[in-house]
Amino acid sequence: MGASSVAYVDHRELERFMKEGFIALGVPGDDAALCARVLIESDLRGVESHGIGRFKMYVDRIRDGILRPVTKTSIVRETMNTAVIDGNHGMGHVIAHQAMEKAIALAKTSSVGLVAVRNSTHFGICGYYPSMAIEQNMAGLAFSNARPSTAPTFGVQPAIGTNPISFGAPSDEEYPFLLDIATSTIQRGKIEINAREGKPTAKGLTIDIDGNEPTDSRELLRTLVEGTASLLPLGGAGEELGGHKGYGLGMMVEILCASFSGGSFGKALSGFENGKPAFHRLGHFFAALNIESFVSIEVFRKITGSIMREVRSSKRAPGRDRIYIAGEKEFDMAKRVKAHGVPVGEPLQKIMRDLSRDLGLHGFSFPFL
């Protein structure tokens, strides 16, 4: 197999690999299965930055003692339609899943469920959690803050995270509406992929302390940690292309996730204290909206589907053969990946070989192990 070879691996085997890896690190079986399920959902949707390519990060953090493999959440405060949960630095996927389950349960009895979370960790793709609400004929929202990596408008220093936003709603089409975006121009995970594959990061997505727009992906990963380079907010630098709007959305997420949870923000999320690895103390915010409290689910699905169809049928730009609705590309990708496998490039193959050896993972049908 050549250095540039890509292996296509059955998603179920990759999911099992991650599950067994988490168990080897002390994560309880059911929690390990959930974490692996969230991660493989990212690969199915074509979001390579948050699937098997992200697995080693969790391995390293558990080994560094800044991610607790056994998750013990506690409810800090609760009302008829709100709750605050302390994740106690456990597995973010488990914490977030519990929080969205709580929001859904509250919405079933009180029309709306709102749950804020503090002291959590990286929870995978944000879009996984609104999908849970959709399965219950509800609309869902999820937000998370993150370690500083994005500069404010007119700034050149990391001040807020990539701070993702996700919203999902059922429709009468094959797919629901499902928006899942960072509030920055690019996610750190995509720069990590570029660095792993030896590719530059496109100009205009980042800014350094001198106002330049660096493109060296490996150097960017170092300078982002140092604080001498930043991602740019959605819209880019300045206000001309709406960068202040992305910046404002990022701030909104920070307030939802930190202020409502009584949690941490900004530099306190860096994962370092006195130069040593430390808990990340992330905050999340989840909402579930009981559609039947507003209109019948049939009416909601029909109107949402009609909105999607009307937008999709609008006039296309020259050279474009399709207008996509949020989530469509990812759902189409999932069909292809299930049929043909998850692409695993040579750099990631090496990481998986090392993990297989280090964690004692055997009996997998990967062509590169």
pLDDT score for 188: 87
Whole-number Å distance between alpha carbons of 309 and 326 = 12
Helix (H) or strand (E) holding 190: helix 188-196
H or E stretch including 180? Answer: strand 177-181
**Confidence at residue 225, expressed as pLDDT on a 0 to 100 scale:** 85
pLDDT of 151 higher than 90: yes
HEC string of 56-89? HHHHHHHHHCCCCCCCCCEEEEECCCEEEEECCC
Q: What is the pLDDT of residue 328?
A: 97
pLDDT digits (tens, 9 = 90+) for 297-340: 999 999 999 999 999 999 999 999 999 999 999 999 999 999 99
Q: What pairs with residue 116 in β-bridges?
A: 84, 285
- Whether 132 and 141 have beta carbons less than 8 Å apart is answered as no
Provide mean pLDDT across the span 128-154: 98
Q: Does pLDDT of 218 surpass 50?
A: yes
Strands (E) located in 234-368: 272-273, 276-277, 282-290, 342-345
Mean pLDDT of 219-248: 95
Q: Which percentage of the chain shows pLDDT scores above 70?
A: 99
More confident position, 93 or 197: 93
Better-scored residue on pLDDT, 93 or 188: 93
**Per-chain mean pLDDT for the chain:** 96
What is the predicted pLDDT for the residue at 3?
44
pLDDT at residue 2, rounded to an integer: 44
> Which candidate, 173, 92, 85, 78, places its Cα nearest to that of 128?
92
| Overall pTM surpassing 0.75 (yes/no) | yes
Bridge-based pairing of strands 165-169 and 177-181 is antiparallel
Q: Per-domain residue ranges for the chain?
A: 1-64+340-369, 72-185+232-313
Token pair for residue 117? 């979370």
The confidence score (pLDDT) of residue 189 equals 85
In one-letter notation, the amino acid at residue 259 is: S
> What is the distance, to the nearest Å, from the Cα of residue 39 to the centroid of all Cα atoms in its chain?
9
pLDDT at 152: 98
Local confidence band at 271 (pLDDT 50, 70, 90 cut-offs): very high
Q: Which residue has the tokens 């709007």?
A: 245
Helices vs. strands in the chain: H and E counts, helices first: 11, 13
Q: From CA 143, how far away is CA 263, in angstroms rounded?
A: 14
> So what's the pLDDT on residue 35?
98
- SS3 for 182? coil
Q: Pick the residue with more confidence: 134 or 48? A: 134
At residue 286, does pLDDT exceed 90?
A: yes
- At 97-118, the pLDDT tens digits run 999 999 999 999 999 999 999 9
What's the topology of domain 72-185+232-313?
A: Ribosomal Protein S8; Chain: A, domain 1 (3.30.1370)
DSSP secondary structure of 133-180? HHHTTEEEEEEE--SS-BPPTT--S--B----EEEEE--SSSS-EEEE
The CATH-assigned architecture of domain 1-64+340-369 is Orthogonal Bundle (1.10)
Closest CA to 149 of 157, 140, 138: 157
Report residue 4's pLDDT band, with 50, 70 and 90 as the boundaries.
low
